[in-house]
């Protein structure tokens, strides 16, 4: 111990000598006064200088935090392990690029950053399990999410080792037929699950069921308490969801059967009238696809916008590949759902009161351009210029009766033309283009319902 103490004394003397040679005092300095946003630095001459740290306004800090936690592309399957066969090429190579370390800086950054993380990013779900796993997120954060994307890849099963292909008619830019990934199913004695089967529209039902209110013990105890009305519904998985995009991948004509009856109950009753905008891509054009398109329109509010687009993806063994739809306008169409039955539309005196109890989709912001066709029968909507760039939108005029674009409306087998001149409308009593004759007004409502 004496030897160890002697070595420490010699080391201290050597350090003191080194400090004196560099004109640095080794005596303890008095503490500098505690100032906000300041720190002390000791110079070689032994004098203490106060350095004021740079101060950023709170608005600037929040802007930096928002930029650091905003991903340049959608986040695929949060809370779940990514499946490469369900992802695009750029989604495999690129990470979300989020500075998640900001959240552990301080409590303020953690509170504000967590809210920004879930409110400002977009999410893609490729399986019902990943969507159900999203229920682990607190309800206060799930309320901030207003748009999500479902990527539903049709799964095919067969109990015989044989090859099935996606035909070239699936997309006009598809050069060759695509070999489908078939999941082998063991042979069974029952005939119910034998042969070639597709798990496609049943998967859509599973996605919609995942949007139903998840089980939360705390919320259940709150809603069942004596002070709470039992008529208050449980909040859904995403209570503030306004727009939804569903990408149907490998959904080809003549390969799929009719959707299960649960689809109508989910889309029209349990989840009905909750969206302002719904985008569907890759829905088949056969009778089954038309029925699915009609059933899913029940998710929209009155005056909601339904966008129907051709297939934009194809699933292969290595993953999902994007299809080239550049310059092909035949894949895109839009229509307005239940545009005539809204509380603020007083032009239609024969409205069904059981259809106007729910609030309609909010009106579009901004002033639409002038059109001679605009009347009680028309409604303006903003539609995306391109599906990939949903932020760029243009005004388009729609027909309230049919929901179609005004340029596609036909009456008595002829297209509406401005040169035809205005006539008296049996609905509002005014004279305008595309007016509804009085003798056809009631027949028109009978045909729609």
My answer on whether 191 and 120 are in the same domain is yes
The arithmetic mean of pLDDT across residues 270-280, rounded, is 94
Task: Report if residue 143 sits inside a domain.
Answer: yes
Q: Which of 214, 265, 283, 249 is nearest to 124 (CA)?
A: 249
Task: Report if residue 331 sits inside a domain.
Answer: no
Query: pLDDT category, 192, cuts 50, 70, 90?
Result: low
Those residues with Cβ within 8 angstroms of residue 217's Cβ, 6 or more apart along the chain or in another chain = none
Q: Is the pLDDT of residue 442 over 80?
A: no
Question: 376-405, pLDDT tens digit by residue?
Answer: 889 999 999 888 766 789 999 999 888 999
Query: pLDDT category, 108, cuts 50, 70, 90?
Result: confident
Residue-level pLDDT at 432: 80
The arithmetic mean of pLDDT across residues 320-329, rounded, is 74
Q: Is the pLDDT of residue 43 over 90?
A: no
Highest mean pLDDT among 39-53, 141-155, 246-260, 334-348: 141-155
> Is the model more confident about 436 or about 117?
117
My answer on whether 254 and 127 are in the same domain is yes
Residue-level pLDDT at 148: 94
> Is the model more confident about 438 or about 313?
313
Task: Report if residue 145 sits inside a domain.
Answer: yes
Residue-level pLDDT at 34: 43
Task: Report if residue 184 sits inside a domain.
Answer: yes
Task: Report if residue 337 sits inside a domain.
Answer: no
Question: 327-378, pLDDT tens digit by residue?
Answer: 555 568 899 998 876 554 555 544 544 445 678 899 999 899 988 888 888 9
Rounded alpha-carbon distances, angstroms, from residue 126 to 200, 266, 289, 314, 389: 13, 19, 20, 14, 21
Those residues with Cβ within 8 angstroms of residue 222's Cβ, 6 or more apart along the chain or in another chain = 228
pTM (two decimals): 0.79
Residue-level pLDDT at 240: 92
Residue-level pLDDT at 220: 58
* Pick from 55-69, 87-101, 139-153, 345-359: least confident: 345-359
> Is the model more confident about 342 or about 202?
202
My answer on whether 46 and 91 are in the same domain is no
| Counted domains in the chain | 3
My answer on whether 67 and 48 are in the same domain is no
My answer on whether 68 and 46 are in the same domain is no
Q: How many CB atoms within 10 Å of residue 173? A: 12
The arithmetic mean of pLDDT across residues 309-330, rounded, is 80
> Is the model more confident about 299 or about 22?
299
Task: Report if residue 340 sits inside a domain.
Answer: no
Residue-level pLDDT at 306: 96
Q: Is the pLDDT of residue 201 over 70?
A: yes
Q: What is the length of the chain?
A: 449
- Residue bearing tokens 């239609």: 348
Residue-level pLDDT at 28: 62
Q: Which long-range contacts (CB under 8 A, 24 or more apart) does 77-82 make?
A: 77/124, 77/125, 77/126, 77/127, 77/130, 78/123, 78/130, 78/134, 79/130, 79/133, 79/134, 79/136, 79/137, 80/127, 80/129, 80/130, 80/133
Residue-level pLDDT at 197: 84
| First vs last C-alpha separation in the chain | 100
Task: Report if residue 339 sits inside a domain.
Answer: no
My answer on whether 75 and 45 are in the same domain is no
My answer on whether 274 and 186 are in the same domain is yes
Structure tokens at 365: 């912001």
Those residues with Cβ within 8 angstroms of residue 139's Cβ, 6 or more apart along the chain or in another chain = 216, 219, 235, 239
Task: Answer positive or negative: Cα dihedral of 370, 375, 379, 385.
Answer: negative
Q: Which domain holds residue 427?
A: 353-449
My answer on whether 152 and 198 are in the same domain is yes
Residue-level pLDDT at 202: 92
Question: 4-38, pLDDT tens digit by residue?
Answer: 888 888 888 888 888 888 777 766 655 544 444 44
Q: Is the pLDDT of residue 150 over 70?
A: yes
Domain boundary among 323, 338, 362: 323
Residue-level pLDDT at 41: 52
My answer on whether 313 and 385 are in the same domain is no
* Pick from 39-53, 358-372, 376-390, 421-435: least confident: 39-53
Q: Is the pLDDT of residue 211 over 90?
A: yes
My answer on whether 392 and 436 are in the same domain is yes
Average pLDDT score, the chain: 80
279 and 246 Cβ atoms separated by less than 8 Å: yes
pLDDT > 90: what percent of the chain?
A: 27
My answer on whether 146 and 215 are in the same domain is yes
Q: Is the pLDDT of residue 57 over 60?
A: yes
Highest mean pLDDT among 298-307, 359-368, 424-433: 298-307
pLDDT > 70: what percent of the chain?
A: 77
SS3 labels along 266-283: HHHHHCCCCEEEEEEECC
My answer on whether 46 and 90 are in the same domain is no
Task: Report if residue 35 sits inside a domain.
Answer: no
Those residues with Cβ within 8 angstroms of residue 68's Cβ, 6 or more apart along the chain or in another chain = 98, 99, 102
């Amino acid at each position: 111990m004496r030897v160890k103490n002697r070595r420490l004394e010699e080391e201290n003397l050597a350090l003191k000598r080194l400090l004196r040679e560099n004109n640095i005092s080794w005596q303890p300095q008095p503490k500098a006064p505690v100032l906000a946003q300041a720190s002390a630095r000791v110079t070689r001459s032994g004098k203490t200088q106060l350095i004021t740290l740079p101060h950023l306004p709170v608005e600037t800090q929040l802007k930096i935090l928002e930029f650091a936690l905003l991903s340049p592309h959608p986040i695929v399957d949060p809370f779940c392990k990514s499946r490469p066969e369900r992802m695009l090429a750029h989604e495999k190579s690129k990470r979300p690029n989020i500075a998640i370390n900001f959240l552990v800086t301080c409590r303020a950054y953690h509170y504000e950053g967590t809210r920004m993380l879930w409110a400002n990013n977009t999410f893609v779900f490729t399986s019902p399990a990943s969507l159900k796993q999203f229920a682990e997120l607190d309800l206060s954060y799930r309320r901030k999410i207003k748009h999500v994307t479902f990527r539903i890849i049709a799964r095919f099963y067969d109990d015989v080792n044989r090859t099935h292909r996606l035909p070239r008619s699936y997309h006009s830019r598809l050069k060759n037929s695509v070999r489908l990934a078939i999941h082998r199913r063991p042979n069974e004695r029952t005939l119910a699950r034998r042969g070639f089967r597709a798990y496609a529209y049943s998967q859509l039902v599973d996605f919609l069921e995942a949007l139903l209110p998840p089980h939360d013990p705390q919320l259940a105890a709150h809603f069942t308490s004596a002070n709470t009305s039992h008529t208050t519904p449980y909040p859904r998985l995403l209570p503030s969801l306004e727009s939804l995009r569903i990408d149907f991948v490998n959904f080809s004509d003549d390969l799929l059967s009719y959707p299960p009856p649960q689809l109508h109950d989910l889309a029209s009753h349990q989840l009905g009238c909750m969206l302002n905008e719904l985008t569907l891509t890759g829905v088949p054009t056969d009778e089954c696809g038309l029925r699915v398109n009609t059933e899913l329109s029940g998710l929209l509010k009155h005056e909601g916008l339904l966008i129907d687009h051709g297939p934009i993806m194809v699933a292969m063994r290595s993953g999902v590949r994007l299809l080239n739809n550049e310059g092909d306008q035949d894949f895109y169409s839009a229509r307005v759902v239940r545009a005539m039955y809204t509380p603020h539309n007083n032009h239609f005196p024969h409205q069904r009161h059981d259809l106007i109890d729910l609030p309609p989709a909010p009106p579009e912001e901004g002033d639409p351009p002038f059109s001679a066709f605009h009347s009680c029968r028309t409604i303006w909507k903003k539609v995306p210029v391109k599906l990939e760039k949903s932020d760029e939108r243009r005004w388009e005029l729609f027909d309230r009766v049919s929901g179609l674009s005004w340029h596609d409306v036909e009456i008595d087998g002829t297209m509406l033309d401005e040169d035809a001149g205005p006539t008296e409308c049996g609905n509002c009593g005014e004279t305008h283009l595309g007016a509804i004759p009085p003798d056809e007004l009631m027949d028109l409502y009978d045909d729609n319902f």
